[in-house]
Chain A
Amino acid sequence: MNFANSGGRFLRRQAALLLCALLLPALSLPAAAAKRPVKFDPRALDGAWNRYPDVTNGVDPTVQPPPPDIPPPPLKPEYLKPWQEYQQKVAEANKRGEPPVTGYVRCLPDGMPAVMMAMFPLEVLQSPGRVTIIEEAYNQVRRIYLDEEQIPVEDAEPGFWGHSVGHWEGDTLVVDTVGIKENVRFRDVPHSDQMRISERIRMLSHDFFEDRITVTDPVYLTGPWNWVWEYQRKPGYKLYEYVCEDNREYADPDTGAQRLKIKPVGPEK
């Protein structure tokens, strides 16, 4: 097309007008930005999140494909066999209707890394030098100290959530956790005080983030145990309090199976 003729000039003017029309909304962006951020901030993890897919409210796989399921733990052969046997025992007990009790029956929280399973919604808070993750279930709190050196594993006091330090590598929050009590287990997998949990937390979009988890343990594992959990933003959600106040489930003293205590109904004490 020859743009030197009048028709070309007309087209060019039309194109310029069209460009202006397209740019106008962009010029009005700062005003809108005051109301709500219009640019995707890859570090804006603050807010409430649901595990994705949301196990308590159904799955919409058209929104975001879920990550692959968690692989079995790469336990050393001497630990893998008893673990597999225990898994088999649990499956059979469940089939018989006599599920073995878990920590939940004793009102114990998940601890790391299971807390990031986000049984219920999570809340992420960012403050200077710290990222705090609150899990609604059992009022669990994780504190990730930013830009601090990790303590040696032998100095890490064993706890449910351990000692976590983190730093930003570009748009990825890299977290290292040590000091998990040996009885705090995810998927019944045994671990030593040498266990480390590393996480690479990264926003996939404004509404999704992923946590790429790697568990290493030179005592129990042959190599790293990796999996990914994803989370979906839950705009405006306010976390509920959670106190394990009246747990009526208990372990049968004879079989160890989970039972329900039937309470007589009477006047309130």
Chain B
Amino acid sequence: MAFAVRTAGQRATLILHVESPGGVVFTSGIANRRYAALLVAGALLAAGTAAAHHSFAMYDNDHQVKMVGSVAKFQWTNPHVYIELMVPQQQGEPQHWSIECANPGILNRNGWKFNMIKPGDTLTVIVAPLRTGEPGALLKEVTLPDGRVLGNGGPAGKALIH
């Protein structure tokens, strides 16, 4: 068991750390309740700032679109993973969309797997399209053929439409 008391400005924190012989580990931080709301706000602010290292500003987050298409290619690479989706049009050939996803590390930590999407799969995606009007987009949410719904990790943001 270990205690660590930290102070930072007006904030005092007690961290309690317990390990039992059975291997159960318990770590807890107790902060002054008065600052709890402030801490939550601070955490969100910090998260926003830190996530800004990679700008997604070229995508129009306010005008998300939902599309159904067939996978032409699933590219599992850094710095980004791409889904090349062929989206049927009312007339003519299907339109090819390049859909940017997070990277393999973030996606793995969010339940994705390198081989979970295959050419020919039908996917439903919610994306933020490029502001330029080109057929490129940032993924917000994907529905796999088996019905599983997956996000694109924290920094890429959530789907705002359904």
Interface of A is mostly: loop
Query: Contact: B46 with A69, CB < 8 Å?
Result: yes
Which A residues, 52 to 92, have Cβ-Cβ distances below 8 Å to chain B? Answer: 53, 55-59, 61-70
Partner of A107 from B9, B20, B75, B79 at Cβ < 8 Å: B79
Query: Contact: B23 with A240, CB < 8 Å?
Result: no
CB of A119 closer than 8 Å to a CB of B: yes
Which B residues, 31 to 51, have Cβ-Cβ distances below 8 Å to chain A? Answer: 31, 35-36, 39-40, 42-47, 49-51
Q: Which residues of A contact B19 (CB under 8 A)?
A: 36-40, 206
CB of A97 closer than 8 Å to a CB of B: yes
Would A40 and B17 be within 8 Å (CB), given that A61-B39, A66-B42 are in contact?
yes
Partner of A99 from B55, B96, B105, B130 at Cβ < 8 Å: B55
Q: Which residues of A contact B134 (CB under 8 A)?
A: 260, 262
Q: How large is the interface on B (under 10, 10 to 19, 20 to 34, 35 or more residues)?
A: 35 or more
Partner of A65 from B13, B59, B135 at Cβ < 8 Å: B13
A sample of 28 cross-chain residue pairs with beta-carbon separation below 8 angstroms, ordered by A number, consists of: A29-B21, A37-B19, A38-B21, A39-B19, A40-B19, A55-B47, A56-B155, A57-B110, A61-B40, A64-B13, A65-B35, A66-B39, A95-B57, A104-B54, A117-B50, A205-B2, A205-B16, A206-B19, A240-B104, A242-B78, A242-B103, A246-B78, A246-B80, A247-B79, A248-B100, A260-B130, A264-B96, A265-B96
Interface residues of A (CB under 8 A from B): 25, 28-29, 31-32, 35-40, 51, 53, 55-59, 61-70, 93-99, 102, 104, 107, 117, 119-121, 136-137, 204-208, 228, 240, 242-249, 257-260, 262-265
